[in-house]
Amino acid sequence: MTENGPVIEIRGLTKNYGDVVGIKDLDLNIHRGEIMGFLGPNGAGKTTTIRTCLDLLQKTSGEVRIFGLDSHHDSIEIRRRTGYLPGDFGMYNDLPVRTILRYLLSLSGYEDDGPMEELARRFALDLDKRYGSLSKGNRQKAGIVQAFMAGQELIIMDEPTAGLDPLMQQEFYEFLREERAEGKTIFMSSHILAEVEEVCDRVAIIRDAELQVVERIDALKEKMGKTLEIEFDKEIDPSVFDIRGVEGLEVDGRRARMIIACDLDQVVKRVSEHNIVNMSLETFSLDQFFMTYYSRPGGG
Amino acid sequence: MLMELRTNWKVLLTFLAVVSFLVAGMVAAWPSMGTAFQADALEGEENVSVELEDLGDTVKVHLQWSPVEGADNYTLLAYPQPQMLVPERAEGIDTESAEHLLEKDEGGTPQMYFAVVALVDGERQLVGMASSLERTSVYEETFGVDMSRVEGMASFMWDLFWGLLMMLFLGYVAASTVSRDFEERKMDIILSKPVSRRRYLLEKFAFLTAYTALMLLVAGLVLVGSMAAIGELSEGMVAPLLMSSLLAFPVVLLIMAVGTLAAVYVQDGRTAVGLVFLFVLLQVGINLVASMAEGLEHLSSYTAMGYWDLDAILFDNVYSVGDFVLIAAAALAVLAVAVLVFERRDMAG
């Protein structure tokens, strides 16, 4: 791979489970040294995408390249260089966490357990306890430690903060920022907006197996702050708003409500052909923006 | 593999203890049970001796009996069953011997029972009974092994008791060792490490092979040891007894390969265990039918267990290396299919 190329390159990825569509024609690039958030409601296809990248699922069509390598044929080499935290995982219940983690470390072909001990201290995880006796939060910490302990350059995580208390979540976000500073690439799914907003550089939003938008968080914050509501003197044809950058359009007779993701000028010029009774423009939070993606008809 | 042992050693030790206890227990009980498996003695059989002379299509039975004091003459009765010895009779025999001609049937010499009766002072008195063939007990007729001999006991135990128990247990271990990684959600983490699915499965199978070897070794040693303890172990029996255990090895490997295949295919413990149990019990069923129903003996050659010929090894000390290799090859073939299936399937998540 070229050093400047994307670490993860997904082209037209489709995964079907029989007749059920898991993900459909997904395109996504994740670059070196960034934290990419993968946001979407439950069942949207986040886990399917991640597990296909790691060759745990066989793709139906499309291409996934990681470090420039084919996700299926070069899977072992990819996994040598990638840490993974599954969304739903278990370990050997009867064994102490240290024993399990050392075993997993050896599977990675990695001998030094120094980073493992250090991570466990940082996240206050008792390595001497049996895995089966751990609380949900502590099991999650064990999962986090195993994903990062071999110091790989790419970390893929499926809802990493599930079960962590708020303080530990903050500690984890801080840790992620440090990892990014060291040049690590992080791809993490989440259904918590605040988490993505806090720690990610970019976000990809998926809904109903299809990618909706990929955008920088700060750009989103800048661009997405406007919702426009217009009342006309008679019923309005929704096709009037067929403008690139108009999102979440709702037309109810004479009223239209939309999110403006483009230059406002374009919209105003278009609607000026009709008689406007009332018009309001309000800024809104990122939260509202995501909700429009989540709650559109057919949304899960 | 070490990880497997660390998570399975309690089950392994428990099962080894159970098998050892059963083997030693049954062997210890044999001296008092063995005689019960002998054929009932014929009345006065010690007084009548039988010799057979092969004449081609017929067999001449020479009977000779000890003289009875004051006997005027003797009567010889014959019938294919030991009861109601009336239909064929030769009366007024003056000597202490007689001959009887038997037509051979498809099984060779037919079973025929004889009774010699003496006439003493006008009264009939039984001298003794005899049979053209060595008699088999009811148990031997049912199970096909002579359990009045200690080898028969060993064969019986292997076949119907703890051999079956062990196959079911090891089938269960094989099916559950892989499917547990799915059910306990370990598979995603393990396979996210740079470990190929082939290596994962072959390491599991290496563990299962070691597990089996240990179990068969213990079973064989306990069998030999407990027979020695009851004083029934002759020097020539050690090798056949250990070999009877070793010959189960490829059969168990095949069962475990089937368990592994079931586990990677259905990725669910209960179904996989159900499938491997079905495989074992189907073989037992077929072999049972083959051993009991006349004309269906060939059916057992379609099952792996049919090649585990315990009577041949225990009674005659013969075994077939070819069969051993054949079943082991079948086990490896099933394992290869399991690897192919595993490499191509989505991992349940």
ipTM of the complex: 0.80
Q: What pLDDT, on the 0 to 100 scale, is given for residue B87? A: 63
Split at pLDDT 50, 70, 90, the class of B86 is low
Measured between CB atoms, which of A92, A108, A146 is closest to B194?
A: A108
In eight-state DSSP terms, residue A95 is: S
In this structure, of A49-58, A166-175, B69-78, B263-272, the range with the lowest mean pLDDT score is B69-78
Question: Do A53 and A167 belong together in one domain?
Answer: yes
In eight-state DSSP terms, residue A84 is: E
Question: Do A76 and A145 belong together in one domain?
Answer: yes
Torsion angles phi and psi, residue A163, rounded to 5: 90, -10
Question: Do A143 and A34 belong together in one domain?
Answer: yes
Question: Do A195 and A141 belong together in one domain?
Answer: yes
Q: What pLDDT, on the 0 to 100 scale, is given for residue B53? A: 83
Domain boundaries, chain B: 2-36+140-344, 45-126
A148-157, A272-281, B115-124, range with greatest mean pLDDT: A148-157
Tokens 């009336």 map to which residue? B86
SS3 assignment for A104-144: HHHHCCCCCCHHHHHHHHHCCCCCCCEHHHCCHHHHHHHHH
Distance from CA of A31 to the nearest CA of B (A): 21
Distance from CA of B289 to the nearest CA of A (A): 42
CATH topology of domain B45-126: Immunoglobulin-like (2.60.40)
Q: Mind listing the pLDDT tens digit for each residue in B53-83?
A: 888 888 888 888 888 888 888 888 888 776 6
Tell how strand A61-66 and strand B71-79 pair up.
unpaired
Q: What pLDDT, on the 0 to 100 scale, is given for residue A300? A: 34
Taking the C-alpha atoms of residue A118 and residue B310, their distance in angstroms, rounded to an integer, is: 59
Our count of domains for chain A comes to: 2
Domain boundary among A170, A185, A219: A219
Split at pLDDT 50, 70, 90, the class of A293 is low
Residue A2 lies in a domain: no
Over range A245-265, report the average pLDDT.
85
B44 pLDDT higher than 80: no
Taking the C-alpha atoms of residue B300 and residue B290, their distance in angstroms, rounded to an integer, is: 6
Give the residue numbers spanning the domain of A237. 226-283
Measured between CB atoms, which of A51, A83, A88 is closest to B185?
A: A88
Interface test with B, best of A72, A76, A105 (most B CBs within 10 A): A76
Interface test with A, best of B3, B181, B188, B195 (most A CBs within 10 A): B188
Query: Residue ranges of the alpha helices (H) in chain A?
Result: 46-53, 75-80, 97-107, 114-122, 136-148, 166-181, 193-199, 217-223, 264-271, 286-295
Split at pLDDT 50, 70, 90, the class of A203 is very high
Residue A15 lies in a domain: yes
Measured between CB atoms, which of A17, A77, A86 is closest to B188?
A: A86
Count CB-CB contacts under 10 A for residue B28: 14
Q: What pLDDT, on the 0 to 100 scale, is given for residue A14? A: 97
Question: Do A141 and A117 belong together in one domain?
Answer: yes
What is the average pLDDT value for chain A, to the nearest integer? 90
A294 pLDDT higher than 80: no
Torsion angles phi and psi, residue B89, rounded to 5: -140, 150
Tokens at A143, concatenated: 């999962």
Question: Do A198 and A230 belong together in one domain?
Answer: no
Task: Output the domain CATH number for residue A234.
Answer: 3.30.70.2470
Q: Which secondary structure element, helix H or strand E, spans residue B129, and what is its range?
A: strand B123-131
Residue A94 lies in a domain: yes
Beta carbons of B347 and A95 less than 8 Å apart: no
Tokens at A65, concatenated: 């390249």
CB A155 within 8 A of CB A82: yes
Residue A1 lies in a domain: no
Question: Do A93 and A200 belong together in one domain?
Answer: yes
Residue A181 lies in a domain: yes
CB A201 within 8 A of CB A36: yes
Burial B181-190 (b: 16+ CB within 10 A, else e): bbeebbbbbb
Q: What pLDDT, on the 0 to 100 scale, is given for residue A1? A: 47
Count CB-CB contacts under 10 A for residue B143: 19
CB A52 within 8 A of CB A28: no
What is the average pLDDT value for chain B, to the nearest integer? 83
Domain boundary among A172, A204, A219: A219
Percent of chain B with pLDDT over 90: 27
Beta carbons of B193 and A108 less than 8 Å apart: yes
pTM to 2 decimals?
0.77
Query: Residue ranges of the alpha helices (H) in chain B?
Result: 2-34, 138-143, 150-156, 163-183, 187-192, 197-229, 238-246, 248-266, 269-292, 310-316, 321-344
Question: Do A150 and A211 belong together in one domain?
Answer: yes
Taking the C-alpha atoms of residue B150 and residue B237, their distance in angstroms, rounded to an integer, is: 10
Q: What pLDDT, on the 0 to 100 scale, is given for residue A298? A: 44
Task: Output the domain CATH number for residue A85.
Answer: 3.40.50.300
Tokens at A30, concatenated: 């994740």
Beta carbons of B189 and A146 less than 8 Å apart: yes
Question: Do A114 and A198 belong together in one domain?
Answer: yes
- Of B243 and A79, more confident: A79
A299 pLDDT higher than 60: no
- Of B153 and A291, more confident: B153
Distance from CA of A204 to the nearest CA of B (A): 22
Tokens at A282, concatenated: 């309000």
Measured between CB atoms, which of B7, B192, B195 is closest to A54?
A: B192
Question: Do A17 and A144 belong together in one domain?
Answer: yes
Interface test with B, best of A104, A116, A152, A189 (most B CBs within 10 A): A104
Over range B296-316, report the average pLDDT.
80
Beta carbons of B188 and A51 less than 8 Å apart: yes
Question: Do A192 and A252 belong together in one domain?
Answer: no
Taking the C-alpha atoms of residue A221 and residue A175, their distance in angstroms, rounded to an integer, is: 24
A137 pLDDT higher than 50: yes
- Of B246 and B349, more confident: B246
A-B Cβ pairs (cutoff 8 Å, strict): 75
Count of residues in chain A: 300
B318 pLDDT higher than 50: yes
In this structure, of A79-83, A155-159, A235-239, B108-112, the range with the lowest mean pLDDT score is B108-112
The residue of chain B nearest to residue A158, with distances taken between CA atoms, is B188
Question: Do A164 and A274 belong together in one domain?
Answer: no
Instruction: List CB contacts (< 8 A) between B194 and chain A.
Output: 76-77, 79-80, 107-109
